[in-house]
Amino acid sequence: MLSPPPYTPAYHEDAASSIGDVSGASFGGACEFIAALAEAGVETTVTAVASPDASPGAVRDLGHALGAVAFKERTFLE
């Protein structure tokens, strides 16, 4: 699901190392993480990238349903 960016990000040796080990990562795990932070009283912000095939509004609604207090939409760069 995660793919490295097409450039070498700052502070990383190469693009692949910028995302780290994502084995075992899942959508459900991300949702559980957001809910656990909110339940623990951590002010949580959910972020989505406004890519052509994404739905930032749906991400915002899901984040708020899970307990996030804020949402940020980022610009998609090709």
Structural domain total, the chain: 1
In-domain check, residue 13:
no
3-state helix, strand, coil in the chain (%, to 5): 35, 15, 50
Question: Residue 48 belongs to what H/E stretch?
Answer: strand 45-50
In-domain check, residue 7:
no
In-domain check, residue 75:
yes
In-domain check, residue 50:
yes
pLDDT value for 43: 96
The answer to whether the Cα torsion of 45, 50, 56, 3 is positive or negative is negative
DSSP code, position 33: H
Mean pLDDT of all residues in the chain? 86
State if pTM tops 0.85. Answer: no
Average pLDDT over residues 22-49: 91
